[in-house]
Chains A and B, each alone.
Chain A
Amino acid sequence: MRQLLALVLLLQAFHGGLAHATERYLEVLVTQPYLEMHSGPGRGYPVVYVVGRDELVTVLYSRTDWYKVRAPRGQEGWVRREDLARTTLASGEPAPIPPYPDFSSHRWEAGAGYGVYNRQNLVTAYGDFGITNSIDVEFVVQQALGTLDNRYITSIGLRHTFVPEWKWFSPTAGIGTAFQYIEDKAPPAPLQKSNQMAYVSLGARGFITRRFMWRADWRHYVVFNDQNVNEELEEWKIGLAVFF
């Protein structure tokens, strides 16, 4: 009985999915003399169909800078972003093709990279949210892999970009708090397995292309522990990021 119920629910969900699949798509009007449709989402793919002026095309979905469209007679193909942006809605308004996010005022960012943490190799990944154009909250997860131990470090902090308008190179500075967990590999065992930390950072970022950017960061950590003197660590890293 329970299985039957599960099946019914599954079918219902499937049906729901199907109903969802018949959602409405955006339709745009070709206003240029023609609109070229390529066989694939890339600059090298040949043009397989051409839609004439004043014809409506259906925009199915996008992949990177290409849009899959359906011509009035059913042919499907890929159209470049720049070409689709020149079409209009039936009402005459320009087609709502989202432009590239503006680098100097982007909101979200995610990236990964390589670094050195306390003379250990470091794998780092981070997410970043811009509160304003110049102040970001960054959340970092990293793993340092050394010969004596492995460390897992998470941190949350604020970062200030001094001149967000500078595209290719813009210095940054930040502060934050972090937590490290030490996984022992070879003796001697660490005195403490986990520590609270605080850091200051200096770095830079720059635009590469479209939605790509690079980031470099140097951090100085103060490790709070049970001893009389706090330990101090250094870290640097470089990474690639995508912004939204």
Chain B
Amino acid sequence: MENRLSSVLLAAALLSGCGWFHRGEKAPPQVVAEEPPGEPSVIEPQVNRREVKTPKIKAKDFEIGGYFGALSIQDFGVNPLYGVRAAYHVSEDIFLEGYLARSKAGTTSLEDVFPDITVVSESGRRFTYYDLDVGYNVLPGEIFLGRGRAFNSALYVTVGLGDVKFADKDQFALNFGVGERLLITDWLAMHLDVRNHVFETDLTGRTKNVDNIEATLGLTAFY
């Protein structure tokens, strides 16, 4: 008995639910076409308009990657260098770039001849820099490899400023350089760079501007 009662209640609930749904449903809009008399009526398609989303175009103006090479620290020999770089390409000609790199200085000739003398402490031999640069693609072009392959490339110049930390001191440094970007694919690039970091120092007794030239090879990805 109880079972039957519950099934009746359930049926009632279902029916009322259906009723509710029907009430909720909007009546299809009545299209009243004004037809000239005598012509056959055109069937109005009752198809909902599909919402078409136009896909967005991805901008790949950023370039990020790493580099390594040799840094000639004036008076301290040539030493390995490695760093990271990130660039934003503003136009086909101009880009803004930031660098962060580290190297470790060797010994001066004085220290080599007289091993008792230390010009810079061990922790001070660490050479780190950051740079903020603006670059200009001077010679864009293509590089050909054999008959069937062409790679897009650009020779660019950069100029910028930043901080060099050497001998436990931060110094304001200017840098300028020239580089070649070779696009292996449209998103992967190889870089060859030569840059000079110039700053003022009094490490070797008198205050002078030192040139620290680096030659590096880098790999970057556009995204």
Contacts and interface: CB of A to CB of B under 8 A. Distances in A.
A123 B91 contact: no
Given A26-B55, A39-B152, A45 B134 contact: no
Interface stretch (A11-19, A57-65, A164-172): A57-65
Given A65-B92, A68-B186, A212-B90, A23 B55 contact: yes
Contacts of B150: 39
Contacts of A40: 140, 142, 152, 183
Given A212-B90, A242-B90, A63 B60 contact: yes
Contacts of A210: 90-91
Nearest to B63: A63
Contacts of A199: none
Contacts of B170: 143, 145, 150, 183, 185
A9 to B, nearest CB: 23
A73 interface: no
A156 interface: no
B171 A64 contact: no
B163 interface: yes
Interface size class of B (residues with CB under 8 A): 35 or more
Interface string B170-208: 111000000000010010000000000000000000000
Interface in B78-120: 88-92, 94, 96
B52 interface: yes
A97 B57 CA distance: 8
Contacts of B32: none
A167 B186 CA distance: 35
A42 B154 CA distance: 10
B52 A91 contact: yes
A211 B150 CA distance: 31
Contacts of B57: 26, 59, 61-62, 67, 96-98
Contact of A63 (B89, B142, B154): B89
Given A145-B170, A150-B170, A209-B91, A62 B141 contact: no
Contacts of A25: 55
A62 B172 contact: no
Contacts of B140: 40, 42, 44-45
A43 B141 CA distance: 10
Contact of A123 (B55, B61, B132, B142): B132
Nearest to A185: B169
Contacts of A24: 55
B141 A44 contact: yes
Nearest to B199: A145
B91 A45 contact: no
B172 to A, nearest CB: 4
Interface in A10-57: 23-26, 39-45
A23 B53 CA distance: 13
B26 interface: no
B155 interface: no
Nearest to A239: B132
Contact of B162 (A43, A45, A123, A185): A123
Contacts of A61: 57-60
Interface in A97-118: 97-98, 112, 114
A121 B61 contact: no
B51 to A, nearest CB: 12
Nearest to B152: A40
Interface string B142-153: 100000001010
Contacts of B154: 42
A212 B163 CA distance: 25
A59 B54 CA distance: 11
29 contacts: A26-B54, A26-B55, A39-B152, A40-B183, A42-B92, A42-B137, A42-B154, A43-B92, A44-B141, A61-B58, A61-B59, A62-B60, A62-B61, A63-B59, A63-B89, A64-B91, A64-B92, A91-B52, A112-B132, A121-B161, A121-B172, A145-B171, A145-B172, A185-B169, A185-B170, A209-B91, A212-B91, A240-B96, A240-B134
Interchain residue pairs A-B with the least CB separation, the first 3: A121-B172, A145-B172, A40-B152
